[in-house]
Amino acid sequence: MFTPGVDTWLTRWNPDFTKARAARGWLGMTIPAEYGGQGRTFMERFVVSEELLAVGAPVAAQWVADRQAAPSLLAYGTEEQKQRFLPGIATGEISWAIGMSEPESGSDLASVRTKAVRVDGGWRITGTKLWTSGAHRAGAFFALARSAPLDPAQRHAGLSQFIVLLDSPGVQIRPILSMSGDHHFNEVILDEVFVPDELVLGRIGEGWKQVTSELGFERSGPERFMSTFSILAAMAEEIREGRQPADARIGALVARTFGLHHMSRAVSEALGRGDDAELGASVVKVLGTKTEGDIADLVEELAGEPEAGDDHFAELVRAGVMQRPGFTLRGGTSEILRGVIARGLGMR
């Protein structure tokens, strides 16, 4: 049992629920059976993920691992890496984080300053990653680092990805607390962390290509428009029970969410085929995260101070308003993604 929440793919970390998901085959759904997964399609995973988010289930513990780490390992990992990490993702035994954003780069990933220096048997990684969700509970993360000097004419060249075990010497994780005092994000400091050659993800120098593919998974899933769905559902129940007056704007947000469902589903199908989904994923992210915030704002406006005794409804509304500022920032800001969309449409 669980109490429905808001933004639960980020904020609700429940190892027991994670184990229950794994036992039902709801983790590692797209991981092949030979690596401990279910061998199912991206669309089947989409359906399960959307339903879990719709009821506000506590799914944060394996969200990044299942959404991004597993597809990246399948696409770019060595056979040894797949055998080492994929079974643990499918059983919920290892959680992952993603090390992309930095203090002075934000969504402009081509400007990362984390450096990877070649040494005997591997690489030394030095730099700082910022806003890394779940790093304090994760066992590993993908770190994007510059493995060759910056070429101003080709800013995306010379980037590589590394699998960093977060208990390695030289790794320091500092909490970043939200306005509510919650701890979901982190600053991860890498001080000459040694990464052996067998933990290089993909090919040296092809990090940008890999990250672009990875971001398609991060930006297009149902979590990009379902984070506040539990508030919308609760408000609909309040209206049905006569505790709140009907308002056409609630219906409009339901319709918008339904449209985003179809858009996100189409991107999931494209990713399953191996198609380039950067444009579609960016559109879903921009429109979806705005919708999440609009839901929180409208319900707060309509409900005001929820009636005494309905503590859960009040908590959902408060949580949505508190989480709202981060919706359009994480996974790439809306400003950056509008540029991606413009380029994809040939407008710049």
Burial of 161 (0-12, 13-18, 19+ CB in 10 A): buried
| CA atoms of 30 and 334, how far apart (whole Å) | 29
| CA atoms of 105 and 111, how far apart (whole Å) | 6
Provide the 3-class DSSP secondary structure of residue 225: coil
Which alpha helices (H) appear in 152-228, and where do they start and end? 207-220
| CA atoms of 168 and 172, how far apart (whole Å) | 9
Q: Exactly one of 50, 102, 214, 218 is catalytic; name it.
A: 218
347: Cβ–Cβ under 8 A, 6 or more apart, which residues?
none
Residue 230 gets which letter from DSSP?
Answer: H
Residue by residue, what is the 3-state secondary structure of 269-296?
HHHHHCCCCHHHHHHHHHHHHHHHHHHH
Q: For 168, how many CA atoms within 13 A lie in the half-sphere containing its CB?
A: 21
**How many degrees, rounded to 5, is the angle at CA 344 between CA 342 and CA 345?**
65
Instruction: Note if 218 is an active site residue.
Output: yes
Q: At what angle do helices 278-303 and 334-344 cross, to 10 degrees?
A: 140
Tokens matching residue 207: 């990090």
Catalytic residue numbers read: 218
